[in-house]
Amino acid sequence: MNIKRKLLAGLMAACVTAGLGTGLTACGSGGSDGSVNLTFQIWDVAQRDGMQAMCDAYTAEHPNVHIEVQVTSWDEYWTKLEAAAMSNQMPDIFWMHTNEILKYADNGKLADCSDIVETEHFSDISLANASGSDGNLYAVPKDKDTVGLVYNKEMFDEAGVAYPDETWTWDDLVDASQKIYDATGKYGYMAYGDDQLGYWNFVYQAGGSILTEDKTRGNFLDPATKKGMEFYIGLQSYDWCPDQNYFAETAPGTAFFSEKGAMFLEGDWNILSELQNYPDMVGKWDVAVLPACPDPLSGDGRATISNGLSYATSAKNKHLDIVKDVLKFFGSEEGQRIQGESGAAIPAYEGLEETWVGVFDEYPINVQPFIDMFDYCIQSVNNAARPEWKSEVSDTLLKIYTGELDLDSGLQAMQDAVDEASAEYYE
Amino acid sequence: MQKTSKLARDGAVWGLLMVAPTIIGLLVLNIWPFIDTIRMSFSKSKPFGMFEFEGIDNYVEMFQNTEFWKATWNTILFCILTVPVGIFLALLVAVLLNSKIRGRTTFRAIFFLPMVVAPAAVAMVWKWIFNSQYGIINSVLGANIGWLTNPSIVLFTCAIVQIWSNIGYDAVLLLAGLQNVSATLYEAADLDGASKVKQFFSITLPMVSPTLFVVMIMRLMSSLKVFDLIYMMVDEANPALNDAQSLMSLFYRESFVAGDKGYASAIVVWTVLLIGVVTIIQFVGQKKWVNYEV
Amino acid sequence: MNTSMKSSKRLSTTLTYIVLILGSVLMIFPFVWMILTSFKTQAESMAIPPQIFPSTWQISNFSTALASLPFVNLYVNTGLLIVFRVLCAVLFSSMAGYAFAKLQFPCKNLLFGIVLVQMMLPSQIFITPQYLMLAHMGLTNTIFALVFPGLVSAFGTFFLRQTYLGIPNEIAEAAYLDGCNKWQTFTKVMFPLTGSSCAALAIFTAVFAYSDLMWPLICNTDLNKMTLSAGLSTLNGQYTTNFPVLMAGSLLAMIPMVILYLIFQKQFIQGIAMTGGK
């Protein structure tokens, strides 16, 4: 009996001291000697070294500041950040994604960064990706990306088809796919029903759009939007294209690097790790700009979706001045150059794209098409209601693919989903 | 007379003292968040924990939603598919592992393994096994069955994986129950010439029934709350998603993807009610088959 | 008679082996797959159709895993987490389980209802409220934060209640007659009888604590205060997962669990001897 009691008492005491002891040290973000410890939260382990290099460059000149880079996997990142925001315990610096920024910015969780961003050095799209619904900057642009066409050179050679280039249109995509399928038995273009890495690109190439220009309503009923969707969904009926059941089990990238198919859409952010992870494939594949729509209802038929991350801090940060100074450095030419040279991502800072391209010098691949596409890129689709309509739209798309809905009623359903969700935000 | 009342008072005091840590812990850690969930289910949620009362709108919306009813049916079906078979197999394994055979320790360790294997490894292996194009099952059968993509099969596939992953857990618990059965009972039965099968029904089953009951309750509850497994096996782009979606998958989607905490809370309340009904039925039913020492 | 009994016994033994061996193959398969994957290259691990054996055995995956995570800290944290959770679960659940099974006190059914209701609740709804409680106490990012949600166990309470219900009342009554009070009866007589159930609960609790991935990632940010499973999950990128390194890391993470199991396994065997019963 005594032992049990002692055990219990000891246990509680141990819990409490373990808790308090470490708790105190963890809270001590400001030391007595004027030094400041900052935390910097990111979700991509592949970029940790690049982020650390950037922090090191800052702290070398500001020895009183210490920055710790912490990685949380994507799945937990947003749950954690939201809980932290509710209890005012957000990390000092954290990455922001366009999917989420409006929720945080519009609810006053992010510090206004208008005064520290050198707006003349960033594209309108980069700035828009770091802005709240009110148009103010609530983050510092970090990087930007585009979507390109990745292709298997060997399969093109075998079928005797010329490699894709900037003259390619949708017709060439279909033609080449058919020829490769006939000659090799492999899949041609693998038309995965994704948004950013799939149909969005084709909708904008056809001259359509997902949202109206003011982003307050859907635009699925627009004839040009319908044209893009019809073409993209229609690709699945060709023998050379796997159906969506296939992609549910085998991601297009996996199929491509196991040499099951000749082409798929890929974002620039994955290229470096694909070169590293598939050493046997190096030299067998390359990248091209996306094919153009041959007869767009408006525009020149060219488009690619461009997204971008940004750095943000809490509106209630205790060391706001210091943190904003760090953020300013992250957004400066020097900070962005370090990021680019680490290969982490294409710097958002205009004119530094080549730092990222240079990382690929050692590989037999030409990543320049990703940079070239910035001339006609489209900002990744977003409005404040997107979290609410996102799943519903992708569900509906799957229903069109399986034939449960025809194209017209499917588009109508997508339109309704977007409008209904958006109505609450844009009255 | 005096003695019994003192004994009873003594029991009351000790009883309350002994349940106090657990009850206080549960109230703070679990019941309070649930009361909050109930409150939210009657509210319209705003981001970052803000919400305003709006009555039964969430429930009205929920009951009108076909997706919700589909998810409810999927959840019940999943429970029916996994619980009886899973418990039967776990009991079989536990009884076999409890028999006096060589290599018992090794077998026990092997059946324990799935519990500590990384979930990512589990998902990877099963997804490959069931892959319709390149999977081992279809190659062996020479068939082209969409185990994970055919709307009428996908839930059965998930049920198989669920049963597989739980056998180890359940067998460990049932084994503990079996070990509380005294060996002398079997020796006596052996002398009477009772067959092993007869011994199982006349000795083993009644003696292990209290443990079997707790395992069954737990499995019923956890199968009605299933989420992780389906999340891992059936990804977002799967055309069969709708036919594999459980109530908690729907909750996850509404709460963590769409951010509609109020509606998501209504789904939780519904799920808990469903589990509550099933649990009450079990507690009434147990009187027929669970054997307690009185 | 005798020979037929013998042959039927041999038949049942053979059947037992067949079932157990078949079952073992099914059970061990993902584990073998995990080992094989941990020696593959990333390309081999993702190949379709799957490549079963690595073409060269890559030991580098293990060194990569070791280098990318502070394994010593993670082992210590996971060990502390498991020890505290198991102690709390076994101790508090034994007390409550015994009381619910063998004692009479006011509101007993209501209080037991609370235990059952907890088991009905999906764990996802606790995450944010529990995080907020910790944040109010200023205890996020601590070892205590890891233990916090598992201080008490509803399942353990229910499970041990069932175990105590299976123990004959005469044993307790004999103890009263010997002059033990309720608490002494519990600690000296009843609790020792539940050895194998407590061991099972310990294994159960330990495995749950070990595999809980979401909570450590939410409550703690510092990698040095994570558990093994949570630390491993940070090896996943947003877009890519390096399966070989992940599997190598998971294998390293399993070592303490296997040791722990072997320890409790012994306790299991002893459990038989201790429960005399009737």
pLDDT at A10 over 60: no
Q: Which chains touch A (3 or more CB pairs under 8 A)?
A: B, C
Judged by a CB distance cut-off of 8 A, whether residue B52 touches chain A is: no
pLDDT at A8 over 60: no
Residue B237 CB-half CA count within 13 A: 17
Calculate the average pLDDT of chain A.
Answer: 89
Per-residue pLDDT of chain B (294 residues; tens, 9 = 90+): 445 566 667 778 888 999 999 999 999 999 999 999 999 999 988 888 788 888 899 999 999 999 999 999 999 999 999 999 999 999 999 988 888 788 888 888 888 788 877 776 787 788 888 888 888 888 888 888 889 999 899 999 999 999 998 998 899 889 888 887 777 888 888 888 888 788 888 888 888 898 899 999 999 999 999 998 898 888 878 888 889 999 999 999 888 888 888 999 999 999 999 999 999 999 999 888 888 765
pLDDT of residue A27: 39
Contacts of A194 in chain B (CB under 8 A): 237
The CA radius of gyration of chain A, in Å to the nearest whole number, is 24
Q: Which chains touch C (3 or more CB pairs under 8 A)?
A: A, B
Contacts of C182 in chain B (CB under 8 A): 10-11, 14-15
pLDDT at A12 over 70: no
pLDDT of residue C189: 85
> What is the Cα–Cα distance from C134 to C121, expressed in whole angstroms?
20
For residue B244, give both structure tokens: 């594999």
pLDDT of residue B64: 94
Q: Among 3.40.630.10, 1.10.240.10, 3.30.465.10, 1.10.3720.10, what is the CATH number of B58-289?
A: 1.10.3720.10
C90 within 8 A of C200, measured Cβ to Cβ: no
Cα first-last separation, chain C: 30
> What is the Cα–Cα distance from B142 to C51, expressed in whole angstroms?
19
For residue A7, is it within any domain? no
Phi and psi at C273, nearest 5°, equal -65, -35
Question: Looking at the structure, do residues A92 and A234 belong to the same domain, yes or no?
Answer: no
**CA–CA distance from A19 to each of A22, A423, C137 (Å)?**
6, 47, 10
Q: How many domains does chain A have?
A: 2
> What is the Cα–Cα distance from B61 to A201, expressed in whole angstroms?
34
Give the residue carrying structure tokens 């028999």: B99
Burial class (CB in 10 A: 0-12, 13-18, 19+), C222: middle
Q: Which CATH number is A401's domain given?
A: 3.40.190.10
In this structure, chain C runs to a length of: 278
Per-residue pLDDT of chain C (278 residues; tens, 9 = 90+): 456 666 777 787 888 889 889 989 888 888 888 888 889 887 787 777 778 888 888 888 898 888 888 888 888 998 899 999 999 999 999 999 999 998 889 999 999 999 999 999 999 899 889 999 998 888 888 889 999 999 999 999 999 999 888 888 888 888 878 888 888 888 888 888 888 888 889 888 988 888 888 888 888 888 888 888 888 877 766 556 677 888 888 888 888 787 777 776 666 555 444 443 32
> What is the Cα–Cα distance from B272 to A163, expressed in whole angstroms?
58
Of residues A86 and B47, which shows the higher confidence score?
A86
Question: Looking at the structure, do residues A284 and A311 belong to the same domain, yes or no?
Answer: no
> What is the Cα–Cα distance from A128 to B156, expressed in whole angstroms?
46
For residue C44, give both structure tokens: 């081999």
Question: Looking at the structure, do residues A177 and A261 belong to the same domain, yes or no?
Answer: yes
Q: Which residues pair with B67 in a beta bridge?
A: none
Question: Looking at the structure, do residues A254 and A120 belong to the same domain, yes or no?
Answer: no
Note whether C128 contacts A71, CB cutoff 8 Å.
no
User: A348-351: which pairs have CB atoms within 8 A and are 24 or more residues apart?
Assistant: A348/A122, A348/A123, A348/A126, A348/A141, A348/A142, A348/A143, A348/A144, A348/A308, A348/A310, A349/A121, A349/A122, A349/A141, A350/A121, A350/A122, A350/A123, A351/A121
Question: Looking at the structure, do residues A109 and A243 belong to the same domain, yes or no?
Answer: no
Q: At B23, which amino acid appears?
A: I
pTM: 0.86
A7 within 8 A of C91, measured Cβ to Cβ: yes
Q: At C44, which amino acid appears?
A: E
For residue A103, is it within any domain? yes
> What is the Cα–Cα distance from A250 to B127, expressed in whole angstroms?
10
Q: Which of B270, B54, B233 is nearest to B159 (CA)?
A: B233
Q: Which of B149, B128, B145 is nearest to C47 (CA)?
A: B128
Query: Predicted confidence band at A289 (pLDDT cuts at 50, 70, 90)?
Result: very high
Beta carbons within 8 Å of A394's beta carbon, 6+ residues apart: A193, A195, B236, B237
Contacts of A14 in chain C (CB under 8 A): 84
Which chain A residue's Cα is nearest to B240?
Answer: A245
pLDDT at A107 over 50: yes
B122 within 8 A of C35, measured Cβ to Cβ: no
Beta carbons within 8 Å of B277's beta carbon, 6+ residues apart: none
Return the DSSP state at A113. Answer: -
Tens of pLDDT, residues A313-349: 999 999 999 999 999 999 999 999 999 998 878 999 9
Residue-range domain boundaries for chain C? 69-234
Judged by a CB distance cut-off of 8 A, whether residue B65 touches chain A is: no
Which of A145-159, A202-216, C220-234 is predicted least confidently? C220-234
A323 within 8 A of A66, measured Cβ to Cβ: no
> What is the Cα–Cα distance from C89 to C150, expressed in whole angstroms?
7
> What is the Cα–Cα distance from B167 to A225, expressed in whole angstroms?
51
For residue A247, is it within any domain? yes
Residue-range domain boundaries for chain B? 1-41, 58-289
Average of per-residue pLDDT across A281-298: 95
For residue A15, is it within any domain? no
> What is the Cα–Cα distance from B44 to B50, expressed in whole angstroms?
9
Mutate to test the interface with B, among A5, A236, A245, A392 (most CBs of B within 10 A): A245
Percent of chain A with pLDDT over 70: 92
Q: Which residues pair with A68 in a beta bridge?
A: A39
Note whether C37 contacts B292, CB cutoff 8 Å.
no
Task: Give the gap in angstroms from C-alpha C10 to the nearest C-alpha of chain B.
Answer: 11
Tens of pLDDT, residues A360-390: 999 999 999 999 999 999 999 988 889 889 9
For residue A386, is it within any domain? yes
Three-state DSSP string of A238-304: CCCCCCHHHHHHCCHHHHHHCCCEEEEEEEHHHHHHHHHHCHHHCCCEEEECCCECCCCCCCCCCCE
**CA–CA distance from A62 to each of A48, A330, B231, C230 (Å)?**
21, 14, 45, 33
Q: Which residues pair with A306 in a beta bridge?
A: A379
For residue A9, is it within any domain? no
For residue A95, the enclosing domain spans: 27-145+307-351
Which chain C residue's Cα is nearest to B49?
Answer: C128
pLDDT of residue B160: 93
Judged by a CB distance cut-off of 8 A, whether residue B259 touches chain C is: no
Tens of pLDDT, residues C70-126: 888 888 998 899 999 999 999 999 999 999 998 889 999 999 999 999 999 999 899
CATH homologous superfamily for the domain C69-234:
MetI-like (1.10.3720.10)
Beta carbons within 8 Å of A134's beta carbon, 6+ residues apart: A105, A106
**CA–CA distance from C211 to each of B47, C205, C228 (Å)?**
30, 10, 9
B234 within 8 A of B244, measured Cβ to Cβ: yes
Contacts of A391 in chain B (CB under 8 A): 236, 253, 257-258
For residue A11, is it within any domain? no
pLDDT of residue A25: 37
> What is the Cα–Cα distance from C262 to C256, expressed in whole angstroms?
10
